[in-house]
Structure 1
Amino acid sequence: MPKALILVADGSEEIEFVTPYDVLTRAGFDVVSVGVGLKENYAHMSRNIRIVPDYPTLLSLPHQTAHAYYDILILPGGAPGAKTFSTTNAVLELVDNFRKEGKWVAAICAGTTALVASQKKLGGEKARVTSHPSVREQVEKEGGWEYSEERVVVDEAKKVVTSRGPGTALGFALGIVELLGGKEGRVEVGNAMVLAETL
């Protein structure tokens, strides 16, 4: 059973957090969320929904070597939340550790900026990515990142999955299911959700 770790911060985008958590759980993944820099015991999301993560901080995770235990790290967008990820050393190190371990890192919307910030600070390979249009310039100005406007971009060689925004969250989540659980898993989950052929 694949294991997924999803980060959440104040100002994270609800749809981009909840959709992967929901879809991956439906697919039989072991999914865990962890808060980053929360002011309360919940994340105050971008549209005023409050979400209580499974673990309040990275330090409270039962597996301190998260990159060795989990198969994928997921970073939702939402500009304030993404800024928190991008300026928190523990998150940048976590992204770097996952990538060095050869594990998947997935980011959606402004979450891609944390991937870029980690590479800028700690090194590692750049990848083919996408993001929300509002942060495209921020991604491209770092140079070396191959930018795409596809809804979901998978760089299999670099183990990076990125997506554009709230409207692409379902395709993003299903793409992760297919990568780690196979095409049959994606079809099974999609059928159970009465998924339309075109997202």
Structure 2
Amino acid sequence: MPSALILIADGTEEIEFVTPYDVLTRAGITVRSAGVNLKNEQFAVCSRNVKILPDAPSLDEKLRAEEFDALILPGGAPGAKAFCDSKTVLQLLRDFREKGKLVGCICAGTTALVKSVETEGGERNKRVKVTSHPSVKEGIVGKGWDYSEERVVVDGGVVTSRGPGTAMLFALTIVEQLCGKEKREEITGPMICAETL
């Protein structure tokens, strides 16, 4: 079965972290989470003050893209800034893309994807069509990225989405990319997902 790494930082949007973790696990995907520059060494304090204990409290700098099939970055402005400020996260984004692995970013998490291309070594990764939370759209478009208002966008091995309200659709899209449409349909029914998903 595929595996996925989900990152979390202080200020990460809870729904955008928990929903993909839960949905991917339901699909049989092995999911691991890792903290990025957490103030507390054990847990992240998320955007609505919910405390979440990641599987690994600190992102291992020796971690390699070969260990996972997907890398997922939730949003939340402070959390996304922590991802953007982490050389390890930016390098992981580049490595996953160079190896043809899936990268998923939701909400402000898309800004880290953009920064990974703008920084040293990132020029090897091409810009793709993306979406994000409206609050960070201008900065993404201003850097020459093709932007869509769709709830979820899939392009070149990259899945992006808009915000907390699109987290379920984002997670189901990742399941489909990793495991196929049948697996997505298999888990959608028991969760009583809206037909518009």
Partner of 1:134: 135
Match of 2:157, as an amino acid?
Answer: K
2: CA distance, partners of 1:116 / 1:37 = 20
Cα distance, 1:65 vs structure 2: 4.0
Partner of 1:88: 86
1:49-100 CA distances to partner (integer Å, 9 max, x unpaired)?
A: 000000011228xxx3430110000000000000000111110001001011
Q: How many aligned positions are there?
A: 193
2: CA distance, partners of 1:115 / 1:52 = 24
Q: Within 5 Å, which residues of 2 pair with 1:20-169? A: 20-40=20-40, 41-59=42-60, 64-121=62-119, 122-123=122-123, 124-143=125-144, 145-155=145-155, 158-169=156-167
- Secondary structure, in 3 states, of the residue corresponding to 2:38? coil
Cα distance, 1:196 vs structure 2: 1.9
1:83-122 CA distances to partner (integer Å, 9 max, x unpaired)?
A: 0001111100010010111111100000000000000002
Q: Tell me, which stretches of 5 or more residues in structure 1 are unaligned?
A: none
- Secondary structure, in 3 states, of the residue corresponding to 1:19? helix
TM-score (norm 1): 0.95
- Secondary structure, in 3 states, of the residue corresponding to 2:103? strand
1:107-163 CA distances to partner (integer Å, 9 max, x unpaired)?
A: 0000000000000002220000000000000111111x11000000000xx210000
TM-score (norm 2): 0.96
1:2-56 CA distances to partner (integer Å, 9 max, x unpaired)?
A: 1000000000000000000000000000000000000111000000000000001
Which of residues 179, 182, 185 in structure 2 aligns to 1:181?
179
- Secondary structure, in 3 states, of the residue corresponding to 2:60? helix
RMSD, aligned α-carbons? 1.0
2: CA distance, partners of 1:84 / 1:25 = 25
Percent identity over paired residues = 61
